[in-house]
Amino acid sequence: MRVPFAIAQGGRVHLPAGRHLAVTWGVADRFGGMTRAMLHRSRAFVRLGGVPVDVLTFDHRDDYPQLEQRLRDEGELVHGMRLLNIWDWFRDQGTPAQEHVDDEGRRRIVVRDASGEVIRESGPWAFYRHWLDRLRSGDPAFVIVDSKTAARFAATYRRKNVAVLHVVHNSHLGPDGQLRGSRRDALEQLDRFDTVVVLSERQRDDMVGMLGHAERLAVVPNATDRVRRSTVPRGDAGVVVASLDGRKRVDHAVRAAQQAGVPLDVFGDGPKRQQLEALGTDAVFHGHRPLQGVYPAASLLLLTSKAEGFPLVLLEAMAAGCIPIAYDVPYGPADIITDGVDGYLVREGDIDGLAARIREFTALPPRARARMRRAARRRAAAFSDRRVTRRWAGVLAATAARHRAEWRSAAVG
């Protein structure tokens, strides 16, 4: 059902007609880049495309109504977006669902009516597909799956008037250069999706070489629409925005900042926090908190991950004129940063090189630093919500056309 929304100045982006469903496994209290990117894309669909978006979750969490209100208060959910959980939805319909393990050790989902009578019993994936059918009520739909966990069942959801797309938010490669184990179930049979979306051309090319199916792979980067000149006085401090886990290697950023003599503010939380604080540096750990005002006040951003997709933190920092200094890992940093122009790329794992680039930037005269900040804002503007949403419109239209053609061909065959 289409409802009226205020369309941003510049006219509507014409997204294909149909229900728009954003699928993830769950939304954590302290969610990371994948969830932020999914919510950002959904807001752009509402604001620029004038289409409602339902964000669907499947985890057992009993406080989604409270979480939804908090996300609205923080601007993550806007008018035209709903946050729907499968267990809450069936309960609200008066047909609560319960999970149990049968005598053969299989997970089973039982749905009961108001009198307690069993009206449906199935395995989990059949139950999830049933919910999507109930939500759509037969309407055409685009199902965009962001979570690799949810992608496993979504790959089995085949309907005549439903296009299913999977967004790969991070590198598909494991440490051995082969397909990452956590991606294998979703991607080894890539043709089960109508389209798989990656965030950079380099990743698409690598996936074509590894998995084939070039016609099903599309590129749509992350987006930002916060490009503006900072009016806040900047100090010399650097900033890290990341989960404090092994994959993000925040200890590299902390050590490099200490070596370069630059203050560092760290935003994020995770299992490595206590270990990082024990390093005894001058870094300040702020935990997980809203990032409003962080980038305009910071001089530079450090990104030291082992792998990325197309880091939203880079775009958001550059949009505020905060200069990124990033390890050149697959994928993302080299697709966004022009080394020495709007940021810096450092050989992966090179802490001394990271510190050298910090010193190089902080030693620049004010005019040179201002020039780099302008270049960073210009680069971020290339990934505006309007441009990226138009790209999404093209991918969705092509996906729907291919889906219809393949469905007709299968019916004839």
State the chain's mean pLDDT as an integer.
92
pLDDT of 131 > 90? The answer is yes
Mean predicted confidence (pLDDT) in 51-65 = 96
Least confident of 163-172, 177-186, 271-280: 177-186
Question: Does residue 9 register a pLDDT over 80?
Answer: no
Same domain, 165 and 77: yes
Q: What's the rounded mean pLDDT across residues 62-73?
A: 95
Span of 120-134, 281-295, 361-375, 391-405 with lowest mean pLDDT: 281-295
Shared domain for 205 and 323, answered yes or no, is no
Shared domain for 89 and 37, answered yes or no, is yes
In a domain, 14, yes or no: no
**pLDDT tier at 10, thresholds 50, 70, 90:** low
Helix (H, G, I), strand (E, B) or coil at 114: coil
Cα 327 from Cα 329, distance rounded (Å): 6
Give me the mean pLDDT over the 337-350 stretch: 97
- Per DSSP, the three-state class of 5 is coil
What is the average per-residue pLDDT within 105-109? 93
Hey, which residues does 84 pair with through a beta bridge? 56
Give tens-digit pLDDT for 197-248: 999 999 999 999 999 889 999 999 999 987 777 777 787 899 999 999 999 9
pLDDT score at 3: 37
Domain shared by 269 and 180, yes or no: no
Would you say residue 39 lies in a domain?
yes
CA 145 to chain centre: 10
> Per the structure, how many domains does the chain have?
2
Strands in 81-85's sheet, in edge-to-edge order, are: 81-85, 53-57, 19-23, 141-145, 162-167, 195-198, 217-219
391 and 291 in one domain? no
One domain for residues 336 and 390: no
- 218 and 73 within one domain: yes
Instruction: Identify the pLDDT of residue 93.
Output: 95
- Whether residues 373 and 402 share a domain: the answer is no
What's 328's domain CATH number?
3.40.50.2000
Of residues 29 and 85, more confidence is placed in 85
**Mean per-residue pLDDT for 316-334?**
95
Residue 344 has pLDDT above 80, yes or no: yes
131 and 44 part of one domain: yes
Please determine, for residue 71, whether its predicted confidence score (pLDDT) is greater than 50.
yes
> ∠27-287-150 over CA atoms, to 5°?
20
320 — alpha (psi -120 to 50), left (phi > 0) or beta?
alpha
Residue 230, domain member (yes or no): no
CB atoms closer than 10 angstroms to residue 401: 12
With a CB cutoff of 8 Å and minimum separation 6, the contacts of 177 are: none
Let me know if residue 8 belongs to a domain: no
Query: What SS3 class is residue 147?
Result: coil
In-domain check, residue 4: no
Residues 46 and 180 in one domain: yes
Assigned domain for 351 exists: yes
User: Tens of pLDDT along 277-320?
Assistant: 999 888 999 998 888 889 999 999 999 999 998 999 999 999 99
Residue-level pLDDT at 2: 34
The confidence band for 27, taking pLDDT boundaries of 50, 70 and 90, is: very high
Residues 400 and 338 in one domain: no
In-domain check, residue 188: yes
Residues 58, 107, single domain; the answer is yes
Residue 211, domain member (yes or no): yes
pLDDT value of position 251: 97
**Domain limits for position 186:** 19-223+386-412
